[in-house]
Amino acid sequence: GTIFAQGLVHVLAHRVFGPEVKFFALRNIPWLCRTVSLGRECEIVGPKSSIECAVINLTPQWVHDTIQPLFAVRWAGRSEPTIQVMEDFCPIVFNPANQIIHPATYWGLFRKWQPGENLKGESRPRAWLYRDMDELSGQILEALDEELQDIKTAFFGATGHASCLQVLRLRDRLLLQYGDQIEDKSTLARMVGTNQAYSMARTPVIETDGGVAPNPTHRVVVDDIGWGLCVLVSIGERLGVATTVMKMMIEWHQRMMGKEFLVNEKLCGRDCAELVLLEKEDPLELVATVPPPMRYSRRRHQRSPGSTVEANTTL
């Protein structure tokens, strides 16, 4: 299973382990924690009273008995969070969480950075990833959330999967999960920047020559571009939904990463082969659930001129 699920992770599990795989995916992390004494003690911050998960070949009772106790925090006579099993993976795929928060945040911190440059002095980004998010980053985040909601709405219209209705706008989700931990609710940037649950996350950087550069291999980059925004864009392309800001974020990040996902605004770059995207031949239902065992076969994908890669669809 995965503690924090994103993108088409259920499809990946199905392809790697086969149709009999027993798999769980948490929609949100149960809490955050910070180290007090390495290997001995931590402090839990940002606890949630309940979270959701999606499963393949597992029952809600198994989740309650086996997974829920692993993340339980006992305080004030209660054991939290409880874990509710969702009907499919749509709320995970369309989750307004890391896959839009991290690209907007990281772009905001390093948007003036140029390849080979070290940021020093006043140009050096803040030490804390979320604290004091600026309003421009907040506006980009708003735009990403708007595009995500447009994709979700179009998918719901095309398939009727009612689980899409569980996907709230980012602002509403933050208020629901962290309302009493957010100091300033005036704008989305201020909500992220004053959320106590987010306050201890440090900005991932590479220290170089007295300055810093962005870290292209950190999870806030790798996970949320390749396994977040690229997946959403692939779904948006199938549904005819514009994803202008998502593509802008992918293009900026891929230059920093030395990757090629988008080429001429199409997901046909050489590095798409390492991702799990919604292909033109795939049914839309793949977004919500894994296919029957014989639904897919091995096929070849032409990713970029002169290069052909083999991709497994079901093993």
Single out the residue of 82, 88, 91, 81 nearest to residue 55, CA to CA: 88
What pLDDT, in 10s, does the model give residues 102-117?
Answer: 999 999 999 999 998 9
pLDDT interval class at 80 (50, 70, 90): confident
287 and 95 Cβ atoms separated by less than 8 Å: no
Whole-structure pTM value: 0.89
What pLDDT, in 10s, does the model give residues 87-96?
Answer: 999 999 999 9
Is the pLDDT confidence value at 311 over 60? no
The mean pLDDT value for 176-202 works out to: 93
Mind listing the domains of the chain with CATH numbers? 1-92 (3.40.50.720), 95-292 (1.10.1040.10)
Quote the tokens at residue 191: 């909500």
The mean pLDDT value for 282-296 works out to: 80
Quote the tokens at residue 70: 């692993």
Beta bridge partners of residue 208, listed in sequence order: 211
Amino acid type, 192: V
**Backbone phi, psi, residue 221, to 5°:** -100, -55
The mean pLDDT value for 273-295 works out to: 87
Whether the bond between 96 and the residue before it is cis, its omega within 30 degrees of 0, is: no
pLDDT interval class at 306 (50, 70, 90): very low
What pLDDT, in 10s, does the model give residues 133-149?
Answer: 999 999 999 999 999 99
Q: What is the pLDDT of residue 27?
A: 96
CA gyration radius, the chain: 20
What is the distance, to the nearest Å, from the Cα of residue 214 to the centroid of all Cα atoms in its chain?
19
pLDDT interval class at 152 (50, 70, 90): very high
What pLDDT, in 10s, does the model give residues 264-277?
Answer: 999 999 999 999 99
